[in-house]
Structure 1
Amino acid sequence: MSLLERLNQDMKQAMKNKEKDKLAVIRMVKASLQNEAIKLGKQELSAEEELTVFSRELKQRKDSLQEFSKADRLDLVEKTQAELDILTVYMPKQLTEEELTAIVQETIAEVNAVSKADMGKVMAAIMPKVKGKADGALVNKTVAGQLS
């Protein structure tokens, strides 16, 4: 089942259960997916493109959550956290720290990286492997730790 089909089913269920917050988040994500399809001039997005849109939505909410926390806006923190919880259900299982470290070490060996100067090469090679499965900041931190 594609992500869009799953979103449609969950949207219908949210309507039936009168879950307004969940319904709003699903509609927002569906709109983002449709906008991306229009931007790319396609009828349907590939699974990878859908994942890219979802990752972008998650990152926006995580950034907002940090800003709202800094500003002591607890009402917005709670709302944004609820949106994040709904969105994470649709993401692939996240890699553990050990799995990520193993992938980083394997990629460093593949590209023959030896110092922090090779960080760009490693990041370019590793990001397609962990797309949607690990946060970019965590990947960056792990790569930097392995190269130092």
Structure 2
Amino acid sequence: MSLKAQITEDMKTAMRAKDSAKLSTIRLITAAIKQKEVDERIELDDAQVLAIVEKMIKQRKDSISQFEAGGRQDLADIEKAELVVLSAYMPEGLSDAEIQAEVTAAVSASGALGPQDMGKVMAIIKPKLAGRADMGTVSAMIKAALTK
């Protein structure tokens, strides 16, 4: 089952269960997916849907830190609940050792010699690790590998 179909099924389940918090978050995901499809006149595949969910997760994390800094714990709690629902659609994350192995393989595959070749390595590794690893961490690992 595609990720988009899974989201639709989860929306139906949330409607039947009258779970309004989960339902509203799933509707936000669906709206973002439809918006992208209409704007670009394409049918999104799982990787593109994952990119949308990943972007929404990043937005929620930023919002949580801002709300907590502003003393609005009530709004931070709402964002945390949305974050839990969104995180359920992400694939299982990789461990640091697995990420390091992918980085090492990508560096050797690209023939990168130094930090100036970081773009080549990122081009190889990003499709493999999208949604499964924090790209900031991956970038730091690549940088460390290329400066040795």
Q: TM-score, normalised by structure 1?
A: 0.90
State the identity %.
Answer: 37
Is residue 35 of structure 1 aligned with residue 35 of structure 2? yes
- CA RMSD between the two structures: 1.5
| Aligned-pair CA distance for 1:146 | 2.1
Q: Which structure 1 residue ranges, 5 or more long, are not aligned?
A: none
How many angstroms apart in 2 are the aligned matches of 1:78 and 1:35? Answer: 27
Q: How many residues align?
A: 147
Q: How does 1:17-32 map to 2 (within 5 A)?
A: 17-32=17-32
Runs of 4 or more, structure 1, over 3 Å off, are none
Distance 2:10 2:46 in 1: 18
TM-score relative to the length of structure 2:
0.90
2:106 alignment partner in structure 1: 107
2:4·2:46 contact (CA, 8 Å) conserved in 1?
no
1:69 Cα offset (Å): 3.0
SS in 2 for 1:90: coil
- How does 1:128-139 map onto structure 2 within 5 Å? 128-139=127-138
Distance 2:82 2:136 in 1: 21
CA distance in 1, matches of 2:145, 2:77: 36
Question: What are the ranges of 5 or more consecutive residues in structure 2 without an aligned counterpart?
Answer: none
Moved more, 132-141 or 112-121: 112-121
Structure 1 residue 119: Cα displacement: 1.9
The equivalences for 1:89-100 within 5 A come to: 89-100=88-99
Partner of 2:81: 82
Greater CA drift, 29-38 or 134-143:
134-143
Structure 1 partner of 2:63: 64
